[in-house]
Chain A
């Protein structure tokens, strides 16, 4: 597939934009994607700006790999963080460690904590698997927050399916 903008290079970045409920899909090559992202940066929110500090410049180079890193505890993706500047849970710090390290260093000039330590002994709990339903609900909330309504509708249907299945299971249990 060729790039929609220059029509010369192979498109490697696939961008979905929703403006006033209109969905536009763009297939871009790396060069055009970088230009496009430079334009988008003019409308940067604080979150983007902040998250951008961590890996400024390689947004277009690492679109799939970096953006898709995901926290296994809460399901937040690195792109969710990039967009909002807010992490999802304490475990995101481990999931995004390699990205957060340079970011924290730029913000604070250091990446090693000095100072108070907790008075309670820290327990290392094994990550409990988040139920599929919980994860989907969190996903739905994020999709609505970011106005990705098409995606939200899909997730909503999946949740309904899951709930139906759960109800069935419950019924079967009761009948037994």
Chain B
């Protein structure tokens, strides 16, 4: 598969399927793994990185753990292509920087992706649509075992999997869930809910991870503690907290629908109208309006478009996706025109 083929398929996590997909966009589990004794990527020399890369690549090929997958050498990709992979949540922003001797392995359905030579030698990720951490855990556990048969991991019985940053040591697992919480934002309850979540030592971030704002009312909640708790334990803990957040959002939606349906209908249809007719639109406005439309579709206020198409638009309107669609790099004001046109075309169908 070529990178451009990804343009024509919907990312797994945007399919809008899976449990509770009206509120939960996606579930993700990531493992960090390192080679024994080889310097971690941040400190490694070029030769050492090169050695690590070829060793991992060889091990993966012989492990035969993936049927259809594509190997991307970061240094061979353009900046836009790398940004494109970040926008699809197949790799981190960090991985797009300093591309030398970094690589990405993606299974062609975009559920599994493996970063090589990011902060750790291996970052294995499984991304599923909807609220489905259990399934993500089952998949990643299997892949991890297969790779480990060919590759010895840095591990100590005291401290578990050894990572470049001590905040990941132990299970080296980060489980995160992406939530869409427009009703909690509209009813101004979100601050309180997230405050409580933060107290339970879970981290909250925006759509694109660390340092990004909660654009489009998306919130990513993940575990922070990785040492002293088993994987299933960590996952169970997150699941029970997320379930409560979901219940709060559902309740807020119900309140909006029963107490002030006209205002809600007006808001969602106006947002839909703007998206369908604007000739220039920024990324920020797009996110904001799409979020309201998504709420309208979930609540059955807007019936002539499905959730998958709305989900896709969140990603298709990101800068690198737009530029790949256009087939050329464009300055941001031109991009606003291109973005508006793409949205109009997509919503016409």
Which chain A residue lies CB-closest to B169? A104
**Which of B82-90, B157-165, B243-251, B307-315 participates in binding chain A?**
B157-165
Kindly state whether residue A37 has any CB partner on chain B within 8 Å: no
Kindly state whether residue A112 has any CB partner on chain B within 8 Å: yes
| Band of interface residues on B | 35 or more
Determine if B160 and A88 form an interchain contact, defined as CB atoms under 8 angstroms apart: no
**Which of A7-15, A62-70, A79-87, A164-172 participates in binding chain B?**
A79-87
Determine if A109 and B225 form an interchain contact, defined as CB atoms under 8 angstroms apart: yes
Query: CA–CA, A87 to B161, complex, Å?
Result: 13
Determine if B159 and A122 form an interchain contact, defined as CB atoms under 8 angstroms apart: no
Query: CA–CA, A138 to B34, complex, Å?
Result: 19
Kindly state whether residue A98 has any CB partner on chain B within 8 Å: no
Kindly state whether residue B229 has any CB partner on chain A within 8 Å: yes
Q: B37: which A residues are within 8 A, CB to CB?
A: 73, 89-91, 125, 127-128
Determine if B231 and A134 form an interchain contact, defined as CB atoms under 8 angstroms apart: no
Query: CA–CA, A134 to B45, complex, Å?
Result: 8
Determine if B167 and A89 form an interchain contact, defined as CB atoms under 8 angstroms apart: no
Across the interface, A111 reaches (CB within 8 A) one of B141, B153, B228, namely: B228
Q: B161: which A residues are within 8 A, CB to CB?
A: 113, 116
**Which of B10-18, B124-132, B144-152 participates in binding chain A?**
B144-152
Kindly state whether residue A5 has any CB partner on chain B within 8 Å: no
> B164-199: contact bitstring with A at CB < 8 Å (1 yes, 0 no)?
111101110100000000000000000000000000
Determine if A138 and B228 form an interchain contact, defined as CB atoms under 8 angstroms apart: no
Determine if B42 and A86 form an interchain contact, defined as CB atoms under 8 angstroms apart: yes
Q: Which of B32-49 contact A (CB under 8 A)?
A: 34-40, 42-43, 45
Q: A119: which B residues are within 8 A, CB to CB?
A: 145, 148-149
Determine if A104 and B171 form an interchain contact, defined as CB atoms under 8 angstroms apart: no
Query: CA–CA, A119 to B149, complex, Å?
Result: 6
Across the interface, A115 reaches (CB within 8 A) one of B38, B39, B165, B171, namely: B171
Kindly state whether residue A137 has any CB partner on chain B within 8 Å: yes
Interface of A is mostly: loop
Given contacts A112-B158, A120-B152, contact A86 B228 (CB under 8 A): no
Determine if B152 and A88 form an interchain contact, defined as CB atoms under 8 angstroms apart: no
Determine if A141 and B43 form an interchain contact, defined as CB atoms under 8 angstroms apart: yes
A-B pair number, CB within 8 angstroms: 134
> A75-107: contact bitstring with B at CB < 8 Å (1 yes, 0 no)?
010000000111111110100000010011001
Query: CA–CA, A50 to B224, complex, Å?
Result: 14
Determine if B227 and A104 form an interchain contact, defined as CB atoms under 8 angstroms apart: yes
Q: A120: which B residues are within 8 A, CB to CB?
A: 148-149, 151-153
Kindly state whether residue B119 has any CB partner on chain A within 8 Å: yes
Determine if B227 and A111 form an interchain contact, defined as CB atoms under 8 angstroms apart: yes
Determine if A117 and B228 form an interchain contact, defined as CB atoms under 8 angstroms apart: no
Q: A100: which B residues are within 8 A, CB to CB?
A: 159, 166
CB distance from A141 to the nearest CB of B (A): 6
Which chain B residue lies CB-closest to A90? B154
Query: CA–CA, A120 to B34, complex, Å?
Result: 14
Across the interface, A86 reaches (CB within 8 A) one of B119, B148, B160, B173, namely: B119
Q: A112: which B residues are within 8 A, CB to CB?
A: 158, 227-228
Determine if A88 and B153 form an interchain contact, defined as CB atoms under 8 angstroms apart: no
Query: CA–CA, A91 to B158, complex, Å?
Result: 14
CB distance from A43 to the nearest CB of B (A): 19
Query: CA–CA, A74 to B48, complex, Å?
Result: 11
Determine if B229 and A86 form an interchain contact, defined as CB atoms under 8 angstroms apart: no
Query: CA–CA, A104 to B171, complex, Å?
Result: 13
Across the interface, A114 reaches (CB within 8 A) one of B148, B164, B229, namely: B229
Name, among A84, A119, A125, the residue most crowded by chain B CB atoms within 10 Å (CB to CB).
A119
Determine if A84 and B42 form an interchain contact, defined as CB atoms under 8 angstroms apart: yes
Kindly state whether residue A173 has any CB partner on chain B within 8 Å: no
Kindly state whether residue B226 has any CB partner on chain A within 8 Å: yes
Across the interface, B43 reaches (CB within 8 A) one of A88, A107, A110, namely: A88
Kindly state whether residue B269 has any CB partner on chain A within 8 Å: no
Determine if B155 and A118 form an interchain contact, defined as CB atoms under 8 angstroms apart: yes
Q: B40: which A residues are within 8 A, CB to CB?
A: 86-89
Query: CA–CA, A116 to B226, complex, Å?
Result: 12
Known: A88-B39, A112-B227, A117-B155. 7 other contacts (CB 8 A): A73-B37, A86-B43, A89-B43, A90-B34, A110-B225, A120-B153, A127-B37
- 5 shortest interchain CB distances as A-B pairs: A110-B228, A113-B160, A90-B154, A108-B227, A115-B230
Chain B residues proximal to chain A, CB less than 8 Å: 34-40, 42-43, 45, 119, 141, 144-145, 148-149, 151-167, 169-171, 173, 225-231, 233
Q: List 18 A-B contacts (CB under 8 A).
A: A86-B164, A90-B35, A100-B166, A103-B166, A104-B159, A108-B169, A113-B156, A113-B157, A113-B159, A114-B170, A114-B228, A116-B230, A118-B148, A120-B148, A120-B153, A138-B39, A141-B43, A141-B45
